[in-house]
Amino acid sequence: MHARTNLSWLSVKWMLTLLVLAYFQTSFADTAPPSAKIQKVSFSGSGCKKNSANATISPDFQEVSVLFDKYSVEIGEGSTQPEKVRSNLFCNLNLDLQVPKGWQISLASADFRGFVALPENTFGYFQLFFLNKHRQYKMLNQSVFLGPLLEDLLIHEDFQIKPYSRCSDGHIKVSLFSRIGLEFMEKSGPREFSQIVLDSVDGAVNAVLPLKWKKCKG
């Protein structure tokens, strides 16, 4: 009787173990496809000219890391544009992801790092747009920085709107448009050196874009 009870308890434990494993396998299977890689990456725009940026995808397919090399705007005395009262640069990032059929992708959040040096009566801004199905979604809300300000930028934003890509037929194209800029609020008077930078001087990653996956319906 005692042996039968132990056998029954072992059977229950084995069944519970199988159920737990099945649950986690199903949960993880829904969070990312079994494979994904960047087939092609291209950059264009005044802020990320050829060979001045790069993008990679993490081994677990959960995030894309972007490295900018020359994404910086400066105006005012001692800058490369001392006569200007405003200036901006933009960057188009296009990713061609090789993904199994039946998956869609969106951006869950974004983390950016950089630097701002803003005197009084100056503001800088950073904007990120997700391009999807010929529509442009503004992703960052808190993107304006008012002077006086001298600090490293560490921006984290959770996106309230998460537009998904089309259903994958083996490839998914993700397009991001970003813009950084500066402007003097007073058009006359002294114009001190001002700068906003998304530029890696030590080889570190400037932007981390966590990915949100889901299986297509039907």
Closest of 186, 42, 53 to residue 119, by C-alpha: 186
Closest of 146, 147, 127 to residue 137, by C-alpha: 127
CA distances from 12 to 6, 9, 114 (A): 10, 5, 55
> Predicted confidence band at 134 (pLDDT cuts at 50, 70, 90)?
low
Determine the pLDDT at residue 21: 41
Over range 199-209, report the average pLDDT.
71
Determine the pLDDT at residue 102: 92
Determine the pLDDT at residue 32: 83
Cα angle 162, 44, 53 (rounded to 5 degrees) comes to 85
Determine the pLDDT at residue 204: 62
Determine the pLDDT at residue 122: 95
Using a pLDDT cut of 70, give the percent of the chain over it: 77
User: 5 by DSSP, 3-state: which?
Assistant: helix
Is the pLDDT at 53 greater than 70? The verdict is yes
Cα angle 55, 101, 24 (rounded to 5 degrees) comes to 85
Let me know how long the chain is.
218
Closest of 131, 134, 135, 113 to residue 180, by C-alpha: 113
pLDDT per residue over 70-101, tens digit each? 899 999 999 999 999 999 999 998 889 999 99
Is the pLDDT at 33 greater than 50? The verdict is yes
Where do runs of H (alpha helix) occur along 32-136?
Answer: none
Is the pLDDT at 64 greater than 80? The verdict is yes
Determine the pLDDT at residue 29: 45
Mean of pLDDT over the chain: 80
Is the pLDDT at 112 greater than 90? The verdict is no
Q: What is the pTM of this model?
A: 0.76
